Structure 1
Amino acid sequence: MEAAAEKRLRLLNADYREVAGREPQTFYCPILYRDEEVELCRAHIVNESFPESDRKWTIQRADVDSWFGSMFEADFVKLKYREKLKVLDVLADPELTRQLRPKFTLDGEEVEHYAVTGPVPDRFSPVLVDHESEPIELVLKVPPEELLKGERKQWDVAFEQDLRLPALVSLLKSAHLTLFQLVGYRYALSAGGRFLGRKVLGDFFDRTVELSRSDALLEARNHFKEFRNLVRPIVPPTTDLAGTVTDGLFHLCRYSGGLAKAVFVRTGEHLHTVLVPVLDNGETAARFMAFLDQSSVTFEARPARYMGDHWEVSPTSWEFEWPRANFERTWHRP
């Protein structure tokens, strides 16, 4: 590893030694909760593909970081395109077309298409789409005579993405690493840290890392459904919050059964809140999850910051409603 990473690793190992009271072997992973001889890497708290995202990073196992990155974050970063692109801009860019997969429909039925790269088979239809830079040459997999039928003429082209699952998993991981960055192993080895790190993220990795992508994603839908109420977008996103990893600000939230930290994760122009429970044991975790599953949830919140060796909590508080809903909605661009 480079010098900066070696220095960060030494600091983390010293922190682990102080908190856990024992010597680390290589690096005690705050997601798998194991210390093994494996490749380590610099892991960004917020995916660096988001423009103007915080560039802070920590040490992580390379296998864990790359697996979550390819399985979930590669799709989650598409959020940066929402409300930014027109469908013709996507069609004009081969890389955006690959990522966002725009669809043509004829009278509501999808018609496959591809960019012109050579002679067009007689059974397909070449089309020229106007674009401000230059015309876009495409091939629709539909016979030319089908396009000429007068009774079928309702065309549409759009791209849509369901980012609920990749957003949920990526934001849970970012919130966990945010608190690990700020508080170190005092957070990671706490009951709340083990809940989010081990139970939510680590257990899932161990069960699915050897599965195919399709099987792992199917398992993910079942596993993370239980934790869907931990994450919410802030709409509209406020500019007053830079993100907890940047300014150290979070909200300490009191509810009928205990406390939770509201961690803010900023991904470019979008802002999200992740609730991380402050737990004593597994029973309080179960009560917290049951509480979030209620139809109406109210928290009393106070702004707070971690100051390196202590928490500073504002005396000012207010109440807010935490909506019970499925992940962030599917987004669609016509």
Structure 2
Amino acid sequence: MSDEKKNNSTLTVEDIFKDNKEELSFTVVSGISGMNNSIKSKEVVNAGLAFAGYTEHIQKNSIIVAGDVELNFLNNLNSSKRKLFISSIFDKGCAALVIVTEKKIPKIIKIFSNKKNIPVIKGNGSIYSTTNKLSLYLSSKLAESVTKHGTLVDIYGVGVLLTGKSGIGKSECALDLVDRGHRLVADDAVKIYKRGEHILMGTGIAPDSSIQYHMEVRGVGILDIAKIFGIRGVRLHKRIEIEINLIEWKPDTDIERVGLKEETSNILGVEIPLVKIPLLPGKNISVIAEVVALNHLLKISGYDTSKVFNATLIKLMQEKAKKLARLDEDEE
């Protein structure tokens, strides 16, 4: 399977409503004809300045969130200013307006909502919580993504992406890792997307579906890892922190032996450590993968075994050289 880049640009207001209506207590108040409006901006706009007439920061096809503070401000305006400010918001072409309140939505907002075909969605709870949850949701759904051939496993809390050509043993390695207490995220096809600028997240190509945790093992067939190992053996998504590339061993293969030369893998513009492991009969790949994950944890905690070993070796060589120099100077 080749890597396939794709940018999710088909998110609609209907998608946001369905995916968040239970958690955020969403109800559609008006503008229902605009539920198919597309959302192309990951930014959730706070309506504070917009309700005061400043709308330059509002991006087209974005989500605007307002609360009781904004509604109270509108109620204190005269009718002409209220109408002017509300019309300026809807004229910017936002995809939807989310209002977090337990109060009734002003009639003037519903009128402009229906006129401009821009849905007004009412929610309960905290405006800050709603804004944060919508921001995370949009960042995930609208992030640039790539589907990569490989297997993603959570090893000691480290997201390890196993890659290599078909049939080299990625699934078998992952199966052994799950049996040893680790957790499978996705097998065969891993959907990778960016969270922020420097974080890669991985999940299955069909998250939340009944087929995400199925694995093909040659000679055995299709296995349902979630059914066999239970909930402790799987997880929905995981940050990808390191890639292990399984390759066939050849006598002339150039492989790093000390670990001083660190390779990286570039995925969606994010660099992560890359470890290449040549395969030989009898090699316990799952144990090596565990050690790679543990060594990665050591590195991010500030201890690099290869560098410490190299520094210690150099120090010993220098001390030995000094002893030899003193012996050469001793004429007796």
TM over 0.5: no
Q: Scaled by the length of structure 2, what TM-score is found?
A: 0.32
Q: Scaled by the length of structure 1, what TM-score is found?
A: 0.31
Q: Which has the larger radius of gyration?
A: 2
Larger RCO, structures 1/2 (Cα 8 Å, 6+ apart): 1
